[in-house]
Amino acid sequence: MRNLLLLAILVCFSANAYAAQFDTPAGKLEVYSSIRGYAGFSEVSDVPGKRDDSQFKIALQSNTRFGTKFSTSKLTGHVEFGGLGSETSDKADPTLRLAYGDYKLDNGNTFRFGQFATASQASYNRVGDEDGGLDGFGNLKQVRRTGLGYYAGNLSLHLYTLSQDAWKPVYTAPDNSKPTIRFQALLPRFEAAYKLKDVKVYGSFAVFNAETESESVAEKEFDATAYHFGVNLTPKFGNVGLNVNAFYASNAALYGMVVDGAGKGTNKDRLKPALKANSDEVEDITTFGGALGVNFKIDDSKALEVGVGYQVSDQDGWDEDAETLAIYAQLPITVMKGFKITPEIGYFDYGSSVMHTGGKKVDEPKVIQALVQFRFDI
């Protein structure tokens, strides 16, 4: 046993420069890494109170990762670390991305515990905004949380914790017309996804308790229900592949999966629910999103992909809806196994910062990106 542990330690330190799989008497050990970064140009316009900004950047992505996986006939352990230095740091700042264990039951199904990724969303290949896909532009954002998982064939069931910090303030009305609201999860969030061939249906549900804080208004408590559901279609027709996604959500920003574009908006709280003025009735935020990706395979090393996504959120007290729009095109090129470069261009419109009735509307950014991503999976 001591020799086996020594071998595992040596592998973790010596195999990080290449993909590796090792069969041992105890099980299979896999070691992998993915180095991701980009060089490119971006132009940001219509930022409130700021001049238009054009920049050229060369940056290592924060989702660069290194991981190990050890598996036996019944057990699997998976640990993955990522880096958080990127554009704002000149040194690595590792963060834990994945850490979970799987136990295969006698009936063939699998039980999981640890930190792992959500399943109730689609996935798009856009590499801008650090492989941001169309999150916030017609697709839900994948997040990693601590929880329990159960897998039975094509069915995935998850139960996640939602917050380590009770009563974390997450909403303040942008025009200061309403008090600060603190939300706390009453129950773990439930998630389900079922995939059959080219069709995946998914959904999630959670309940929050909230209280208001204000010097001028009496404190109030209320409950907010958050949920979403959707469908993702990924058919192929010869060399053409489609990726179609549509979802509907209510207050799902409370658990982080409904986001407003790629995070460049100035009013990041506009998708959180609130109390109606002089009332105990909750103003829910409803969101509808849709996205389409079309992939044309040119040959075994190249493919052309174009995508578009649109998302709209609404609340009864708003003067107008909150909308986002994204369009991108890319040409992924596999130089060799483990090395890919992806030229990409894109346009992203964050709409307007929606205020409650009587507030002042503020334009949100419009972004043009042109970049090349370099990715080494080794």
Q: Domain map of the chain by residue range?
A: 2-377
Compute the radius of gyration of the chain from its Cα atoms. Answer: 22
Task: Name the CATH topology of 2-377.
Answer: Porin (2.40.160)
In the chain, which residues have pLDDT < 70?
1-19, 46-52, 84-93, 163-180, 213-218, 261-270, 274-280, 317, 319, 352-363
Q: What are phi and psi of 171, to 5 degrees?
A: -145, 130
Could you tell me which of 274, 371, 270, 273 has the C-alpha nearest to residue 324?
A: 270
The tokens describing 154, both together, are 């094509």
Instruction: Determine the pLDDT at residue 165.
Output: 42
CA distance 374 to 88: 19
Residues in the chain: 378
Q: Give the pLDDT of residue 46.
A: 63
| Angstrom distance (rounded) from CA 219 to CA 181 | 10
Q: What is the pLDDT of residue 257?
A: 85
- Measured in whole angstroms, the distance separating CA 308 from the mean position of its chain's CA atoms is 17
Residue 130, classed as helix, strand or coil, is helix
**Number of helical H runs and strand E runs in the chain:** 2, 26
| pLDDT score recorded for residue 186 | 81
- Residue 98 CA, distance from chain mean position: 14
What's the pLDDT at 184?
A: 78
In angstroms, the CA 332 to CA 313 distance is 32
The set of residues, in sequence order, having a beta carbon less than 8 Å from that of 238 and lying 6+ positions away, is none
| Cross-strand partners of 151 | 110, 156
